[in-house]
A = this chain, B = another copy of it.
Amino acid sequence: MLATMGALGLAPTAEAASREPVYRAPRTGDFTLKGRAAARIVVVGGGIAGLTTAYELGKAGYDCTVLEARERTGGRNLTVRGGDSTTDLLGHRQTARFSDGQYMNAGPARIPQWMVTMDYCRELGVPVEVFTNSNASAYIYNEKAGMTAPVRYRTAKADMYGYVSELLAKATGRGALDAELTADDQQRLLEFLKSFGDIGSQLTYTGSEHRGFTVDPAAAGTPGVELGGLPSVSQVLSSGVGRYFSFEFGYDQAMLMFQPVGGMDRIPAALTRAIGPGRIRTGAVVQAITDKAHGVTVTYTQNGRTRAIDADYCVAALPPHILAKTSHNLGGAVQTALEAVKPSSAGKIALEYRSRWWESDHRIYGGITETDMDLSHIWYPSYGFHGARGTVIGYYNTGANADAYGNLTPAERERRAVAQGEKIHGAKYRTELASSFSHHWRQTPHLEGAWHSMAGGPDAPVFAPLNRAAGRVYFAGDYLSYADAWQHGAFTSARKVVTTLHARVLA
């Protein structure tokens, strides 16, 4: 048995080596050594994929121009600060009234350790800090399941894991698993369950300090009072609290996670600086992409005028459903593929508070509260701990829930979100509110989507025309990756296009 235990692990050096296909950035020497000139590239779309394309090609001296329809780069990587204004496609106008230092990452907000987004933060000198993706002190509140008050994650886990351990111990004791487990294995399983469920030598769950305390242990004379009101196993199962536990086991959601200090848009800001702002044209709305025998022409409007730019190659890094509405001569198969990408809805509201009552009153420093109400998730901030003010994400929802909120006025969204959050947090959720700002991606000009639904995934046959060049036009974006909605997807898609295009230019 010992000889096979190696299967449990993976030699660390081997693992490090095989983590991902090695990416090799283009270098100036690639051209000087070959006596070739770098090509002219027009990049359509200044989100993460477009910026990365220009940034990476720029390392080898390519002459890149980025056309961005919006007034700032970053695409869905959008950080909203005080004074920022938006008008959505439904005509809702908002100006954020956040205090200094307060912000909302309206799009991506968290970075797993393994994603290349972390590498770009390091390379670009964007400092990172922990994003608090899960917290034992945060709440679960399933109103539809009949819960009348929130329960903390620590308590919900203690109860579910306690009863699961008791049940499995009982079943094992009754011989129900004799076919699967040797006597030694059964003993080892019981040892695990004792610790995992805190069920003691009686193998019975009767509560645990894992649940928390109503009076915390303190000085002599104050041993603490454990949380009372132990629910039955039936109550725990009916409450549905357990449905949230596996979230943090996900490869893309497991802690530890990270965020740039000061806002996610520190990443596109750093890319923009590195590319050189002179190479980026904002407010440039592309009207047509025309692939020609020896180049590409992109026409666009900017400040009310129509302009055209010629290049050797084009990288189309705008949202596929926007490109589908744009004039092009890239062929029917490309158009069919673009139309097969369905944009998804998501929205968030930021609630700035005059005090950090969740820290002082609830002892919640970051993390996420889960509910079965239509606000879905409530995020406590991962920055500014102990500060005077703080900004909670009052809802982060998707699909029909996001559309329902998106169709409301910003004031109505706030009312609905606060009425729900108050059920969990009490009166301060309303009385301490300073201002709010909400954002919905389906209603956002030039983006019109949070992420994408693609039947069969990015390598399905219908999408093949987007995974290769259409003449001199390449396609990049998170949708052409296995990390849709993650910047990692945009980064790796751009790297793939850069690698392919650079090889063609050098060939």
Point out residues on A near B: beta carbons under 8 Å.
Answer: 1-2, 4-13, 15-16, 18-21, 113-116, 118, 121-122, 127-130, 132, 134-137, 139, 141, 145-151, 154, 156-161, 164, 167-168, 170-172, 174, 176-177, 180-182, 185, 188-189, 191-192, 195-196, 198, 209-210, 212-224, 227, 229-231, 233-243, 245-246, 248-251, 254-256, 258, 359-367, 382, 385-386, 424-427, 457-459, 463, 466-467, 480-483, 488-489, 492-493, 495-496
Contact = CB atoms under 8 A, between A and B. Distances in A.
Contacts of A248: 136
A243 to B, nearest CB: 6
B164 A164 contact: yes
B151 A480 contact: no
A366 B12 contact: no
Contact of A149 (B9, B128, B172, B210): B9
A484 to B, nearest CB: 10
B237 A198 contact: no
Nearest to A458: B220
Contact of A495 (B4, B219, B242): B219
Contacts of A235: 1, 4-5, 7-8
A8 to B, nearest CB: 5
B366 A147 contact: no
Contacts of A157: 249
A481 B219 contact: yes
Contacts of A172: 167, 171
Given A10-B229, A11-B149, A129-B130, A170 B180 contact: yes
A179 to B, nearest CB: 9
Given A188-B237, A219-B480, A177 B181 contact: no
Given A195-B246, A258-B385, A482 B218 contact: yes
Of listed A116, A426, A463, residue having the most chain B CB within 10 A: A426
Contacts of A251: 154, 209-210, 212-213
25 contacts: A1-B146, A1-B234, A8-B151, A9-B147, A12-B150, A18-B215, A21-B215, A118-B363, A128-B385, A130-B366, A130-B382, A167-B168, A167-B171, A168-B171, A170-B177, A171-B172, A176-B176, A181-B234, A188-B240, A198-B246, A220-B481, A220-B493, A222-B492, A223-B482, A256-B366
B229 A7 contact: yes
Given A180-B167, A221-B459, A127 B242 contact: no
A150 to B, nearest CB: 5
Of listed A148, A172, A223, A243, residue having the most chain B CB within 10 A: A148
Of listed A6, A11, A172, A227, residue having the most chain B CB within 10 A: A6
A130 to B, nearest CB: 4
Report the 7 A-B pairs with minimum CB-CB distance, sorted nearest first.
Answer: A9-B149, A171-B171, A176-B176, A217-B482, A136-B254, A218-B492, A130-B130
Contacts of A114: 137, 213, 216, 363
B10 A151 contact: yes
Given A129-B130, A496-B220, A363 B113 contact: yes
A115 B218 CA distance: 9
Contacts of A364: 113
Contacts of A174: 176
Contacts of A216: 19-20, 114-115
A151 B15 CA distance: 11
A185 B148 contact: no
A483 B223 CA distance: 9
A206 to B, nearest CB: 15
Contacts of A481: 217-220
A151 B134 CA distance: 22
B12 A483 contact: no
